[in-house]
Amino acid sequence: MGKVVTVSTEVRIKYAQTNLAAQVFERIKHEIFDFQLLPGERFTENEIAARMRVSRTPVREALYRLEREGYLEVMFRSGWRVKPLDFAQLDELYDVRVVLEVAAVRRLCEQSERQGLEELKGIWLVPMSETLDDPDQVSRLDEQFHGTLVAATGNRELARMHHEVTERIRIVRRLDFTQQPRIEATYLEHARILRAVVQRKAEQAQLMLRSHIETSKAEVRKITLHMLYEARERAGRARPARRRSG
């Protein structure tokens, strides 16, 4: 007979708290991404715990995880704040992204071994009838496409730097896939870039990649500003009117 493995109450409680913290993390992150929690907005652990009907322990764990990922800031003696959007910094990060990816494409077109390209062809070189239209799925595949192009060079430091930039722009970059025309454009542009890389047409691939990223950056900025405006309008209408004195 096999041994009967018992799980202590302490372990079960720890597991439940970890699982709950992960759920709280996803909910808060979703609220940040959808501008239900606005950039610059302040709140406390108690407010989140009360609203989500959980204890402060999983809330605190989730908030510190969001801070590590760059979405929140701890405010000394005054709770937490959603990190404000810095468009100048985002522009600089997109510029760094262009430099890294253009260099990667040049190297890919020159080297003999290029792992990962076959997988990308199976995702992006498909008829339009077989493309996906779910924004979250396309956003993940988009990150995978660009990340794979960089990783395929075999340069681990290049891939590490690119991953860091990707993490820091994700909060706005994913908005590019909230509109169907942008999803369709992404499929077409990725296919053209990939074909140029496969055919080792370095200059053509670099030009198309640069244009693809610059267009995405412009669209993301426009969508972000529009969503922020709408979110602030909703918040203003929801706020109770102040009584006039006198």
Q: Which token pair is 234?
A: 């909703």
Return phi, psi of residue 131, to 5°. -80, 160
Collapsed DSSP state (helix, strand, coil) of residue 80: strand
Which pLDDT does position 77 carry in this prediction?
79
Environment class of 158 (CB within 10 Å of its CB; exposed 0-12, middle 13-18, buried 19+): middle
Rounded CA separation 68/167 (Å): 11
CATH class assigned to 87-232: mainly alpha
Among 47-61, 62-76, 228-242, the least confident range: 228-242
Under 8 Å between Cβ of 189 and 212? yes
Among 20-29, 49-58, 109-118, 147-156, the least confident range: 109-118
What is the pTM assigned to this prediction? 0.80
CATH class assigned to 9-84: mainly alpha
Q: Which token pair is 205?
A: 């691939």
Mean pLDDT value of segment 43-63: 95
Among 32-41, 58-67, 212-221, the least confident range: 32-41
Listed by start position, the domains of the chain span 9-84, 87-232
Rounded CA separation 80/155 (Å): 38
Among 13-22, 57-66, 71-80, 168-177, the least confident range: 13-22
Q: Mark residue 43 as left, alpha or beta (left: phi above 0; alpha: psi -120 to 50; beta: remaining).
A: beta
Selected residue with higher pLDDT from 155 and 113: 155
Distance of CA 92 to the CA centre of its chain: 17
Mean pLDDT value of segment 230-239: 82
Mean pLDDT value of segment 99-103: 98
How large is the angle between the packed helices 87-110 and 180-198, nearest 10 degrees? 30
Q: What is the CA radius of gyration of the chain?
A: 22
Under 8 Å between Cβ of 114 and 108? yes
Instruction: Report the chain's mean pLDDT, rounded to a whole number.
Output: 90
Please report, as a single letter, which amino acid is at residue 131: T
Enter the DSSP assignment of 125.
S
* Of 134, 121, 131, 225, the residue nearest 172 (C-alpha): 225
Return phi, psi of residue 35, to 5°. 60, 30
Where does the pLDDT of residue 242 fall: very low under 50, low under 70, confident under 90, or very high at 90 and above?
very low
Collapsed DSSP state (helix, strand, coil) of residue 43: strand
